[in-house]
Amino acid sequence: MTAVRVHCEEAERAAALAFDLRALSDDFYDDPFPTYRGLRRWDPVHRCPDDSYFLTRYDDVVTVYADHHAWSSDKRVEFAPKFGTSPLYEHHTTSVVFRDPPDHTRIRRLFAPAFTPKALAALEPRVVRFVDGLLDGAAARGGMDVVDDFAAALPVQLIGDMLGVPQEERGPLRGWSLAILGALEPEPGPERLEVGSRAVEEFKDYLRRLIADRRRRPSTDPGEILSALLAAEDAGDRLTELELLHQCIFLLNAGHETTTNLIANAVVSLLEHPAELARLRAEPALLGTAVEEFLRFQSPNQLGNRRAARDAVIGSVEMLAGTLVTLGIGAANRDPAQFHEPDRLDLARTPNRHLAFITGIHACAGMWLARMEGRVAIGRLVARFPNLRASGRPVRARRARFRVVSSFPVAV
């Protein structure tokens, strides 16, 4: 082993042992995967300075997600120091994703009809129309920003339809979502917390008016989930007022963030890997496995969290009840123990048991909707524009929890 290699390994080990999720570098935001690789090798069950743990191995992450009895999603204790009594605390402790059974089961059951195969099949023609309209605009302009004009525009339109938000009132939706989710960063800072709390209050005020209108005038659109939830109330399946408001906010947040990041990262990955782009054009039948590979390669959601409900052991590390763990979804999806050549983009990769939508009882209810949106958007973009090319560099947001492209100009 050369002296240079020894030095590099020592530096990698030292960086892994000193890793602090609350003090991240610009290099990490641009490309977290070298850091994940070092942690997996040298300290896969890493104790952070705040005494929480950061997990980077696939099997360890699956172990935690698979046992909701041992590992709680309830965030009331964890979020109290972070959010205090703010609107953000109310939202993130009421949202279904941060609830344990039986509340999680009850709330999720009410949303399930919106995500059945039959419901998604009915939505697909609408998604095709949205996508084609966005691509028409890009063609007329000769280019677009992949995020603002395409990846973010599609889910905002679709979730707007599902919530019954009039077209002319959809302008604030994306900003509200970004502000509320931005507060989930490991170290959000006071300004981000203030903006996030204000977004929760503004969104709640808007939803109260929208819900009152829907109670008076139920929608006949079979794809609108808000009217369906109100109809379920009449049948005896009630959400509290706060639950109804916050599940609607969560629907926008989850549907917007995941799909936007999936599509934007897919376009970046294709243009950074021209051989795979050519392969997809030559073999359109690869689109299904391609979407799965985009989800693995640049996972839209990079981090998850759980709290030990009882004493537990991960790897050889003993953890007491109450211990907080951060689950490295993006790291697990690059684990060479699970994926052959994990740092290589392979649009035909099979099997591909990635964790982009996590696993267990909290697996994303909208995963098939996101897959369908990704398949339609990416497939039609690639087919429509054979000369698609970057006209600027992709800009990454300073976000660790989500793999966010802020902007990416392309020519068509």
Q: State mean pLDDT over 133-161.
A: 97
CATH architecture designation of domain 23-411: Orthogonal Bundle (1.10)
Q: What is the pLDDT of residue 338?
A: 98
123 pLDDT exceeds 70? yes
Using pLDDT thresholds of 50, 70 and 90, give the confidence band for residue 230. Answer: confident
Are 373 and 259 in contact, with CB atoms under 8 Å apart? Answer: yes
Flag whether pLDDT at 127 surpasses 70: yes
Closest to 307 measured CA to CA, from 60, 59, 98, 102: 98
pLDDT of residue 233: 67
367 CB burial (10 A radius; 0-12, 13-18, 19+) = middle
* Averaged confidence pLDDT in the chain: 94
pLDDT at 7 over 70: no
User: Quick check: 234 pLDDT over 80?
Assistant: no
Of 32 and 216, the structure prediction assigns the larger pLDDT to 32
- What's the rounded mean pLDDT across residues 346-369? 96
Q: What is the distance, to the nearest Å, from the Cα of residue 68 to the centroid of all Cα atoms in its chain?
A: 20
pLDDT of residue 112: 86
Q: Residue 4: pLDDT band by 50, 70, 90 thresholds?
A: low
pLDDT of residue 280: 98
Q: Residue range 229-235: average pLDDT?
A: 71
The mean-pLDDT minimum among 163-172, 238-247, 276-285, 376-385 falls in 238-247
pLDDT at 26 > cutoff 80: yes
Look up residue 301 and give its DSSP letter.
Answer: B
Residue bearing the bigger pLDDT, 286 or 15: 286
Q: What percent of the chain has pLDDT over 70?
A: 97
Residue extents of the structural domains in the chain: 23-411
Q: Give residue 116's pLDDT.
A: 87
223: helix, coil or strand? Answer: coil
Q: What is the pLDDT of residues 159-208, one digit of tens each?
A: 999 999 999 999 999 999 999 999 999 999 999 999 999 999 999 999 99
**End-to-end CA distance of the chain, in Å?**
48
- Mean pLDDT, range 385-407, rounded to an integer: 97
Say how many C-beta atoms besides its own lie within 10 A of residue 255's C-beta: 23
Q: What percent of the chain has pLDDT over 90?
A: 86
**What is the enclosing helix (H) or strand (E) of 291?**
helix 287-297
pLDDT at 295 over 90: yes
Give the model's pLDDT for residue 205: 97
pLDDT at 9: 86
- 79 phi, psi to nearest 5 deg: -85, -10
Q: List the beta strands (DSSP E) in 141-241.
A: 143-145
Instruction: Give the number of other CB atoms < 10 A from CB of residue 24.
Output: 18
pLDDT band at 228 (very low <50, low <70, confident <90, very high): confident
Q: What number is the average pLDDT over the span 97-121?
A: 90
Band of residue 305 on the pLDDT scale cut at 50, 70, 90: very high
Q: Is 378 left (phi over 0), alpha (psi -120 to 50) or beta?
A: alpha
325 strand-pairing partners: 53, 306
The pLDDT of residue 229 is 82
Q: Do 250 and 136 meet the contact criterion of CB atoms below 8 Å apart?
A: no
The token pair that represents 89 in the structure block = 């605390």
Give the containing element (helix H, strand E) for 313: strand 312-314
- Residue 237's pLDDT band (cuts 50, 70, 90): low
What is the pLDDT, as a whole number, of residue 236?
62
Distance CA 381, CA 387 (A): 11
Confidence of residue 381 (pLDDT cuts 50, 70, 90): very high
